[in-house]
Structure formats: structure tokens, C-alpha cells
Chains A and B, each alone.
Chain A
Amino acid sequence: MEPMIQARGLTRTFTTRKGRAHSELMAVDAVDLDVAAGEIVGFLGPNGAGKTTTLRMLTTLLRPTAGTATIAGHDLASDPVGVRRSIGYVSQSGSTSPEARAGEEVIDHGMLYGISREQARTRGLELFSQLDLEGLWQRKPRAMSGGQRRRLDIAMGLIHDPNLVFLDEPTTGLDPQARANLWRHIAALRNERGATIFLTTHYLDEADALCDRILIIDHGRIVAADTPDALKRQVAGDLVELQVVDGKHLQTVVAALAALGTGAETEGLFVRARVREAGQSLGRTLREIDAAGIELAGVEVRRPTLDDVFLSLTGRSLREEGETGENAENRP
């Protein structure tokens, strides 16, 4: 099957200035990407990792410093207009003026893609009903909820029926209900319309729930690319966490877990280790601990998450935000 996105060595550097000193910031460093038609691919990484910069290059908004890409059959460098015609882009920052009426914005946007006013209107109303925006055609975005505005942005991005849709952090800032609702709509884009979807996120549960395949980017480089399950399998086992009541029993419990898995460690009254198939092997160890007269305050077994994957790949947790410092995402 013809790939929808094929990028080779995609690179973007920004020149930053501090006083008189110029320095080059490598925001995206020789990224290779392949996305097949009909895939939902998640682009995962902490803030400042280069997600948005990559997305802006793939959507013709930012010229790559180096590298090539073919998007929906059009060469990015020689035929950016062809690329623009074929893709839909839903940015983080919105797409409509708060003072305009939603329907007017949608029609104008469609007409900029060369479709007629009538077509844009029909298609827009259809999208409004699919995206649960019925009755909001005349509403100003200013008077909409965050979730409604985000769905309006998606309607704007889909007005010309693109086969390839880019979504930049589609659920950031939404409450859990609105997020789950939006996931349903994004999944429907592929399942019902056969669109290819490329979305960025820094939520692991989102990537886990939505995506067929995940690309993990850190410091401008792709550090892993696989299905969510395969990525999680790379992490050695489940995380087992036992809490003892009395600190003097810590060493015994550590020894018991160390015999079972790897990386046993303590923190306060907690003992943690990675254990393969913990569901099968842990019971016996717990009975032994019990038989030794050691009382436990808590037992927890956690399946590996994408956060564990990220941690094992980069040595950092995805949740440790802010430490990335350089925020390349908001550069022009």
C-alpha cells in the first residue's frame, strides 16, 4: 500500500539569541517517518521534544532545515499546495475567531479549499451533526465550551474531506469526559471514513487507547516506534509494590521480591520490583511472607504503562515536565 507519510532525515534547527550569543537549537534531528494509509499513529513525547515542530513541517507550515518528505503522494518541497489540498490540520491553538459565528468560519474555511459555498454548508452541517455540535452553527466560539471548540476545530480541519488528518494535542486542556468523547470521534474518523490519522500527545493513556502504532520522540529524535503492546512488552514485567507495616521487615521482603523479579528497591516502607507474569508468581511469595509473620499494609501490581516504556527508553518519566527547559514547541 502507498504510504501516506514518508519522511527521511527531516531536520529543523532554530537559531536562538541570548544577548549577542547565537546558538543553534536542534528541535528535530533527522527524523524518519512512515505512516501507511488507514493507520492511527501517535506521536508521543514530553513538551519540547519536537512533536509540534515535526507536525508543522509535515503540514507545510514550517520549512525543514534538511530532509525530504512525501505527504499523501505530494512532495513537501516541490508541491506544498498539493500537500495542503490533501491534508487536514487541527492545531493546538484553535482555528476560529472567538467573535465569528461557527458556521461562517466553517464555510469560509471550506471555500479557501476551493469547494463551493453550498458544498461547504452541506458538509459543515453534516460534520456538526457527526461531532455532536448540532444547533451550534450560529454560536460564537467565545460562547462554546472547551470541548465544543475543539470539535469545531476538527470540523474546520475536515471540511474538505481530507484522507490524512493531523491532530496536534487534540485533548489537551479538556476534562476527562470531553477527552473520552473526543477519542470516540477520532476513532470514528478512521473506522467510518477510512482516514489516516497522525496525532501528537503527551498523554500515554490517549496514545494507548487510540493508536495502532506509537512513535516516541525525545530531544528531537525518534527513540522507539512500535505498537503500544509491543512497546509495553519491552519493559521487563509488571511493577509490584508491597508496603510493610514495620520497617524491620523491609530486608526480608526485599529478598523475597528480589528472588522473584528484577530491580528490587525500597523507598520508605515500600518495596518495589519488576516481576514477569506477577499474577501467577506473586501469590506464593505473599503466602511465604505471611507465614513468616510479616504484616503487609498494601499490595499493588501495575501492568506496564507507556510511561514505563518512556522511562526505560529515556531514563526520564514523561510526567516530569518543565525539566525539559527549552520550549521549542512555541517557536515560529
Chain B
Amino acid sequence: MTGLHDTLIIFRRQLRLGLRNPAWIIIGLLQPVLYLVLFGPLLKPLSKQLGTSNAYAVFVPGLLIQLGLFGALFTGFELVAEWRAGVIEAQRVTPASRTALLLGRVLRDVLELLVQGIVLVALAYAFGLRASLGGMLFGLALTLLLGTSCAALSDMIGLLTKSEDVLAPTLNSIALPVMLLSGILLPISLGPKWLQHLSDIVPTSHIVTAIRAAFVGHFGMTVVWGSVWAIVLCAVCLYFGTRAFRRDSA
């Protein structure tokens, strides 16, 4: 499989460059950990209103989604810098599969997310999270799918705009409303009807709901729908991301 071979070459290269600069991995991890430590305790007294005995089971799925959204969202900056250095063009002129050029980069980001997600869940457990093991694994899996989507989207926008100045506001203006409407910090079900309807059209809100259900061991239709959304989102982003790498070439 030459596509897999090419993907692994790119993956290894990105991993090597990433490990050489671990500050970014730590910064990426710090954000959800800060939420956990500085915001989590506020939720404890609110458990009753949230309709749960364990506030962390509601909160941690939201943090996972936040990690999935933001952890990989800014990877496009790295791509723009490499494009400027001529790396992307040099790769595009090789016979390597275009999908591999994207997928190798995305895989590195996903591996990073996996490590960050495990640390986050373990730390939450130490803070008092109690959830089904299957639910937590499922939560991590959906987080990785979401991370794949965001990384591909970020790389795509980076490759199309080739400018950090355009990339930053574009990504922020997508990510912030998506994050708020997904009910990451508090369940959207607490809010008024119009907010809930608005939230229904945001794929990540279904993903959060699915992870929350899985955390308390309810593997029903909610989980199925969340998974479908995550898979569809991931497929769409990878498709358009690859198209960006193929764009304009013969």
C-alpha cells in the first residue's frame, strides 16, 4: 500500500518536528486542565440542577470536545509556515498520494490529542469523575474523530488562504460559536427552546450529548447519532482537505 507508506513517512516527519518542540503539546494540554481545576469545583454544588450525582460526568465530556475542537484547530498555522518554507510544494511534486500528504499530518495531531485526552480523563478521575469505562473509551474515540475533522479543516483553510492573518480569525469565528452551541460547559438542555433548536444544527452538540450518555452508561440512539455525526464530519473534512492538496494540480 503506497498510500499507507506515504502517510507513515509524513506522520513520522511531523511527529519528529512536533517532539522537537514539546511546548505546544503542553500548552494544548494546559487549557482543559485549567478548566478542570479552576472551573470544575464550581460545578459540584450545581449537581442537583444538572440532574446528576456526578457533575464531572457532565463536565468532562464537554472538556473532551473542547480538546477535540481546539487541540488540533491551530495546526493550520504550522502548515502555512511550512508552505512558506516550500515544504508543501516540494511534497506535492513527489508522486506521493495527496491523501497521504494530508493524512500523515492529521495523524500526528490525532496522536497528540489521544495523549492529551488520556491525561485529561485520568486527571478528572483523580478529581472525582465516576463514569463507565466503555463510556470513557467511547468519549476518547469520538474526540479523536472530531480532532481529525478539525485538523483537516484547519490544514485545508491554511492551504487555501496561505496566510496566518486570515487563518486566525476564520478559525476563531468557526470554533467559538460551535463551542458555545455544543453545550460544552453546561448542557444546552438547561437553556431556552430557541437555543436548543439552534444547538441541534451543530454536529458537535450531538457528539457531546452522545459522550455524556455514554459516560453514564446509556448506549442508546443518542450514542448512535453522535457517532454518525462524528464519522460524517470526519469524512467530509478529510475529503475537502485532500481536495485542497490536489487543488489546481494536474
Provide the bound-state CA to CA distance between A50 and B107, in Å. Answer: 37
List, in ascending order, chain A residues with CB within 8 A of B53's CB: none
5 extra interchain contacts, Cβ-Cβ under 8 A, other than A91-B86, A108-B10, A108-B13? Answer: A98-B85, A100-B16, A108-B9, A109-B91, A112-B95
Across the interface, B85 reaches (CB within 8 A) one of A77, A80, A85, A93, namely A93
Inter-subunit contact B86/A95 (CB<8 Å): yes
Across the interface, A99 reaches (CB within 8 A) one of B2, B12, B21, B93, namely B21
**A123 located at the interface, meaning its Cβ lies under 8 Å from any Cβ of chain B in the complex:** no
**B92 located at the interface, meaning its Cβ lies under 8 Å from any Cβ of chain A in the complex:** yes
Q: Give the contacts of A97-113 with B (CB-CB under 8 A).
A: 97-100, 104-105, 108-109, 111-113
Across the interface, A85 reaches (CB within 8 A) one of B86, B92, B95, namely B95
Which of A63, A91, A112, A114 has the most C-beta atoms of chain B within 10 angstroms of its own C-beta?
Answer: A112
List, in ascending order, chain B residues with CB within 8 A of A97's CB: 17, 82, 85, 87
Which of A92, A97, A153 has the most C-beta atoms of chain B within 10 angstroms of its own C-beta?
Answer: A97
Q: How big is chain A's contact interface, by range?
A: 35 or more
Inter-subunit contact A91/B249 (CB<8 Å): no
List, in ascending order, chain B residues with CB within 8 A of A64's CB: 250
Number of interface residues of B (CB under 8 A): 28
**A227 located at the interface, meaning its Cβ lies under 8 Å from any Cβ of chain B in the complex:** no
**A273 located at the interface, meaning its Cβ lies under 8 Å from any Cβ of chain B in the complex:** no
Indicate with 1 or 0, residue by residue over A78-90, a CB within 8 angstroms of chain B CB atoms: 0011011101010
Inter-subunit contact A60/B93 (CB<8 Å): yes
Q: Give the contacts of B226-250 with A (CB-CB under 8 A).
A: 248-250
Known: A108-B9, A112-B6. A91 touches B20 (CB 8 A): no
Interface pairs A-B: 7 shortest CB-CB: A94-B86, A95-B90, A93-B86, A112-B94, A60-B250, A80-B250, A84-B95
Q: Give the contacts of A106-139 with B (CB-CB under 8 A).
A: 108-109, 111-114
Name A's interface SS.
loop
Inter-subunit contact A62/B249 (CB<8 Å): yes
List, in ascending order, chain B residues with CB within 8 A of A332's CB: 162, 248
CB distance from A198 to the nearest CB of B (A): 14
**A214 located at the interface, meaning its Cβ lies under 8 Å from any Cβ of chain B in the complex:** no
Which of A59, A89, A111 has the most C-beta atoms of chain B within 10 angstroms of its own C-beta?
Answer: A111
List, in ascending order, chain A residues with CB within 8 A of B84's CB: 93
**A96 located at the interface, meaning its Cβ lies under 8 Å from any Cβ of chain B in the complex:** yes
CB distance from B216 to the nearest CB of A (A): 45
Inter-subunit contact A89/B93 (CB<8 Å): yes
Inter-subunit contact B90/A156 (CB<8 Å): yes
Across the interface, B249 reaches (CB within 8 A) one of A63, A109, A156, namely A63
CB distance from B186 to the nearest CB of A (A): 41
Known: A84-B95, A96-B85, A99-B17. A109 touches B90 (CB 8 A): yes
List, in ascending order, chain A residues with CB within 8 A of B90's CB: 89, 91, 94-96, 109, 156
